[in-house]
Amino acid sequence: MRRIVVTGAAGYIGRALVDALRTSSASSAAAALVLTDRAPAPPALPAGAHWIAGDIADAALQERLFAEPVDAIFHLAGVVSGAAEADYAAGKRVNLDATIALLERCRVQAERGDPAPRFVYTSSIAVFGTPLPTRFDDDTAPAPTLSYGAHKRACEILIDDCTRRGYVDGRALRLCGVVVRPPLDNGALSGFNSDVIREPLAGRDYTCPVSPEATIWIASLPHAIANLLRLADVDTAALGPRRTLNTPALAVSVAQIVEAIGRVDPAAAARIRFRPDAALEAQFGRWPIDASFARARSLGLGVDPSIDVVIRQHLEAA
């Protein structure tokens, strides 16, 4: 039976990925899902799924994940931007050290003669840092200016190297802001990209920490999940030696988001006020509108058609 491991399975993206794996071609009836997160198991697990609660950086937990050969691993677990910046040791331990340890488990598995796992990693556009160029494409060089981004970039390089050596069949997707997240105090400095949509539409006043002129990259949860699954299925030869892709993103200004909210609920748009934080906006609100995601699009990864569609999906799901 094939074993598919998902780390960070209790998170916003993790839960949706697990649901999608139950019905996707990546998880047939002959596959077992091994799910892990710090949280205890949810009340209802998918048929054939096994939950292992614990810290992804703990060697004993990793041993349990690899107690039998792993065919594929979706590595989502991590300490997000603000939390990793506030606590360097915690961010390094989870975002860098734990990923290195998982890759080492994959190496051991491959060297004993079992198939090298397909290793699907959620990286981040935080690898680009500031200042950002006015135009972005697949050749824009990463230059992280947060510890979170530095650790993500280091993992991307290691995944390329482990793939070259045959320890994994690696692929990494640099996620942008995935919206519309529920309210969660997890230290994500870019959380305003969900808050500015969710809060006013829920009837609550919202003070936005970036200006209307701020520009951001976002993707809906359905598109983020579809792109992760698509990347997992891409033929390894089509990826070549550079295993990281920039996820196709919807590049919009905050003003455009407010206008779109106003088209469905003028009262909601009127609930938004602005109190810009210059440092926050410089790091998270200056993503170039002129952006190309040609490589990912050529491999079948998709993008949301418009901010209006993202908002409509959010309202339908609420």
Residues that are catalytic: 148
Distance CA 190, CA 83 (A): 12
Check if the beta carbon of residue 33 is closer than 8 Å to that of residue 6. Answer: yes
Phi and psi at 281, nearest 5°, equal -65, -35
| β-strands 250-253, 31-37 pairing | unpaired
Check if the beta carbon of residue 273 is closer than 8 Å to that of residue 205. Answer: yes
Output Rg (C-alpha) for the chain, integer angstroms: 19
Q: Is the dihedral of CA 190, 192, 197, 201 positive or negative?
A: positive
Check if the beta carbon of residue 32 is closer than 8 Å to that of residue 50. Answer: yes
Angle subtended at Cα 48 by Cα 70 and Cα 232, rounded to the nearest 5 degrees: 45
What six digits make up the tokens of 85? 């910046």
Find, among 157, 199, 160, the residue nearest to 179 by Cα.
199
**Beta-carbon neighbour count of residue 109 at 10 Å?**
19
Check if the beta carbon of residue 148 is closer than 8 Å to that of residue 127. Answer: no
Omega prior to 131 cis, within 30 of 0: yes
3-state secondary structure of 193: helix
The structure tokens 């050290």 sit at: 97
Contacts of 261 (CB under 8 A, 6+ apart): 197, 200, 201, 268, 269, 272, 311
